[in-house]
Amino acid sequence: MPHPAIVKDNVAVITGGASGIGFAAAAAFARAGMKVCIADVDRERLADAATRLSSVTSATNVMTFAVDVSSAESVRELERAVAAQFGGTDLLMNNAGIQPGSTLFGEPDNWQRVIAVNMWGIINGSRIFAPNMIARGRCGLIINTGSKQGITTPPGDPAYNVSKAGVKAFTEALQHELRNTRDCRVTAHLLIPGFVFTGLTAKGRTEKPAGAWTPEQTVDFMLARLEVGDFYILCPDNDVPRALDEKRMQWAAGDIVENRPPLSRWHPDYADAFTRFVEGK
């Protein structure tokens, strides 16, 4: 059975919804009979996404909204517009994200943009939408898109790692708050995608690498895990099985417990030890 919030005539709002995982989710929610608001910063992609959704559902069940998730006022306008058109929100998917790349001591612009969109976008969406979702008294969902990089924090893109680590910590706190709010029927969930072939990860490629999942596969997995109530929706992909992801995450936490150097998985003194750990030796 689908999650009770994902039913006909309920309302789903997806930020970053005009492409990639966001659009795949919007299409899945539309096929379930939900009314869907696709929110995105790119107006051209919004128009194209609405056209593509016309093959899935009636135009009356679709709205689009240009939003800058890093701006609390822009997100408030989105929440008010959805309430005016559809009566309120039952499912919020905070999915908007960017990854322009970053270096530790480089120019701060990318750092500010990445943290504003990836982390503050999710904080803004959750804080602004949740109170009225709770007040509806209906079963609801807030799904925040994180990343494995926010847990294992590999070297190479520190701004992105910091933003997604913040998303993990915030979503954990959000779910704790929701479950301790009287009469609240809204739950929060952390989507942790694997390697998904989207505009964010294509990096000039036009064909999906064999190791990557499609956005549709990722959303199908998400829906299945929502059905059973998972908070951490840890997605595998074609190259990395879940067991290996778990080992990487356990090792990352072990850096603290074992007092190893930070990011010891990439430290030459610990390369063999990490390999033995993964192999269970």
The pLDDT score that the predictor gives to residue 195 is 85
Which tokens is 161 given? Answer: 């790692």
The whole-number pLDDT of residue 206 equals: 64
pLDDT tens digit sequence for 68-78 = 999 999 999 99
SS3 content of the chain, % helix, strand, coil (to 5): 50, 15, 35
Q: Which residue has the higher pLDDT, 79 or 202?
A: 79
Q: Which residues have C-beta within 8 Å of that of residue 201, sequence separation ≥ 6? A: 99, 195, 212
Alpha-carbon distance of 235 to 49, in angstroms, equals 25
Cβ–Cβ < 8 Å for 15, 40: yes
Rounded average pLDDT over 81-87:
98
pLDDT of 73 reads 98
Catalytic positions, written as ranges? 160
